Amino acid sequence: MEHDEKCNLCQETSLDVGESSSYGAVVICKVGSETDNMWLATLSPKTGGDPENDCTIQLMPHHHYTNFTEVNTNSELAKNYGLLFAKVSNALFQVMKDQDSEFTDPSPTRESSISIASYGKWTTWNEKKEHLHIKIFPFRNNIGQPYTVDSSFGRKEVHTDTETNEKFVKMDVVEKTMIKSELFTTLKDTLILLLNE
């Protein structure tokens, strides 16, 4: 499907670098020469992490592709995804390195190491047909908790619900809040510079 009128992501895929969507996401990079092979990255206005430090960048194709099997049918689209993923990872690394005063320490502690995570999921034959998107974010604070595919998730302490006997593990609550406006402006300008030089 080229565009889906009801899709909020389709509405932002025609924006240019620096332009902002109705809910405040800003396009920071576009890769591709034609709309059928184009990918975009946007900086989200909210984060589930620390609103004074963290952020989330979203990658998505211009067209309303819903599944990576569709990306596999267009090699230029697949290549451009890889290029954008690498560019955004590097730009976010540069931003996090500059935020971390301990990073230049010759013997960095484990706390000062830089971790970046990505998340994406696609389902074949689902009802919802969501616009394919992948999130890249600093793996720290509440958005840096071990995920189900991590070995460390499997090592979490198992608790038992006293009423139902169900077993569960604990996670910290993640609430999305607006990134502080000064930080958002700095992040947006820095990322646009790094990604479009």
> Which one among 5, 9, 31, 145 touches Zn ion, defined by CB under 5 A?
9
Within residues 111-150, the interface with Zn ion by CB under 5 A covers: 131
Q: Dihedral angle at the C-alpha atoms of 117, 120, 121, 122, nearest 10 degrees?
A: -150
CA distance 25 to 21: 5
Q: Which is nearer to Zn ion, 121 or 167 (CB)?
A: 121
Q: Tell me which amino acid residue 78 is.
A: A
Q: What is the CA radius of gyration of the chain?
A: 18
Binding mask 61-80 for Zn ion (x = CB under 5 A): ---x----------------
Binding mask 29-68 for Zn ion (x = CB under 5 A): -----------------------------------x----
**Strand extents, DSSP E, 32-168:** 39-43, 46-47, 57-61, 116-120, 134-138, 159-160, 167-168
The verdict on 183 binding Zn ion (CB under 5 A) reads no
Helices 75-99 + 181-196 axis angle, to 10: 130
Q: Which is nearer to Zn ion, 7 or 116 (CB)?
A: 7
Please report how close the Cβ of residue 14 comes to Zn ion at its closest, in angstroms. Answer: 11
Please report how close the Cβ of residue 67 comes to Zn ion at its closest, in angstroms. Answer: 12
| Interface residue list for Zn ion (CB under 5 A) | 4, 7, 9-10, 64, 131
